Amino acid sequence: MRHDGWCGLIDRRTLIAGLSATVLAPRHARAATVTDAAGRAVPVPANVTRVFPAGPPAAILLYTLAPDLLIGWPRANRPEECAYMLPEICTRPEVGRITGRGNTANLETVLAFRPDLILDIGSTSGTFVSLADRVQEQTHIPYALLDGRFDAIAKAYRSLGELIGRAEDAEKLARYTEDTLKTILGRIDSIATDARPRVYYARGPKGLATGLGGSINVETIELISRNVAGDTPGGLANVSIEQILVWNPDVIVTIDQEFAATVRNDPSWASVKAVRDNRVHLSPKMPFGWVDFPPSVNRLMGLWWLAKLLYPERFSEDLRGLTQDFYFRFYHVTPTAAQIDHVLAGRD
């Protein structure tokens, strides 16, 4: 707060990171520690050549910034996903995950990969902080825990850039992230909350699972529209069709192809406003989901997609061009026109 007047024009972090990316980069990258999102001081490894991702979001974050450092994937990618990634990186082995709902990588396996750094991004709650501390203590490998929320992605890139000595590349992605968020939010800023479309997020083949208020699953939707299930805070839950009829959403966003294909002919959904108005939208998901999971930078593209769907008059950009640009910057590939059509159709 002391520096309010000074950093009003430009965020202090942006300034420092910007400087570090240009003038100070060599010296800065050799700093002793980087403070991660949980406030832990993570020792900066001397020379990073191999990074172990603790879970899918971390693997994606690292892939976008420094694909060559990625040891492997928490789960092996499918061949059709590799069409949208660098093939030699996409086919790297399955290494399991060391966070989330269950460990599938044991620590000896982690050590056997000889990582210079373990990267985790997501919740910074006590469970994950203690996990990070414990793993770092047991393995003596620096374990960085970054924040996975939208507004923290830019910061996550900058921290990671410092940790692996790629501050310059990180700064580019961080800037793109900030610009995208600023552009999208800026254009809809004048629309009052009450005037924004009411969106129901449908998961599962019957479309009856949804993300409640504040759930990471609906972060994209809640950022630029109103989540009909947002009154009840929580994570994922099942709801009844009756409840959806009461909510009567303007728009339905789904990740389930089966649901998207059948809902129009399902008599029990027929009187829902979104179905009547033909506003059921299947989210793209290749190579990573656009609106929901994994909760990493992949959702940034979904924000463009959603913004164009909900506010077409305010977003005149060509989505295909945006897709191509995003895939080039983040996934290091240039998809063909046919591939972009395939992605935008929500197919996998």
Partner 1 sequence: MNNARSAVPGLAIAIAVLIAGLLLALTVGRYPVGLGDLISVLYAKVVGHRADVPPAVESVILQVRGPRVIAAMLVGAALAVAGTAFQGLFRNPLVSPDILGASSGAALGAVVGIYLSLGVFAIQTVAFVGGLIAVGIVYVIGASVRSRDPILVLVLTGVVVGSLFGAGVGLVKYLADPYNQLPAMTFWLLGSLSATGVNDLFPLFGPVAVGAAVLVALRWRMNVMSLPEEEARALGVATGPLRIAIVAAATLVTSASVATAGIIGWVGLVVPHLARSLVGPDFARLLPAAAILGGGYLLLIDTLARTMAQVEIPLGILTAVIGTPFFIWLLASVQKNWS
**Residues 326 and 300: beta-carbon distance below 8 Å:** yes
List of residues contacting partner 1 (CB under 8 A) = 56, 75, 100-102, 104, 203-206, 208-209, 212, 229, 231-232, 234, 236-243, 245-246, 255, 258, 266-268, 270-271, 289, 292-295
- Of the candidates 223, 186, 208, 213, the residue with the CA atom closest to the CA atom of residue 302: 223
Query: Are the beta carbons of 278 and 308 closer than 8 angstroms?
Result: no
Supply the minimum distance, in Å, between the C-beta of residue 214 and partner 1: 14
User: How many Cβ atoms from other residues are within 10 Å of residue 217's Cβ?
Assistant: 23
Least separation, in Å, of the C-beta of 162 and partner 1? 29
CA atoms of 129 and 229, how far apart (whole Å)? 30
Tell me the closest approach of the beta carbon of residue 70 to partner 1, in angstroms.
Answer: 19
- Return the number of other C-beta atoms located less than 10 Å from residue 155's C-beta: 20
In the complex, least distance from residue 282 CB atom to partner 1, rounded to whole angstroms:
14
Tell me the C-alpha distance between 288 and 81, whole Å: 8
Complex with partner 1: residue 126 or 267, whichever CB lies closer: 267
Please enumerate in sequence order all residues whose Cβ is within 8 A of that of 184, keeping only pairs 6 or more positions apart, or say none.
Answer: 224, 303, 304, 307, 315
Instruction: Output the smallest distance, CB 314 to partner 1, in A.
Output: 30
Cβ-based nearer residue to partner 1, 182 or 264: 264
CA distances from 124 to 5, 96, 218, 300 (A): 30, 20, 18, 20
CB of 248 to partner 1, least distance (A): 8
**Closer residue to partner 1, CB minimum distance, 212 or 310:** 212
Q: Is the dihedral of CA 51, 55, 58, 62 positive or negative?
A: positive
DSSP state of 270: T
Minimum CB separation of residue 77 from partner 1 in Å reads 12
Nearer to partner 1, 29 or 212 (CB): 212
Distance CA 297, CA 313 (A): 26
Q: Which lies closer to partner 1 via its Cβ, residue 33 or residue 271?
A: 271
Q: Which is nearer to partner 1, 161 or 289 (CB)?
A: 289
Distance CA 88, CA 69 (A): 12
Alpha carbon distance 2, 136 (integer Å): 35
Q: For residue 28, how far is the Cα from the chain centroid? A: 27
Residue 106 or residue 232: which is nearer to partner 1 going by CB? 232
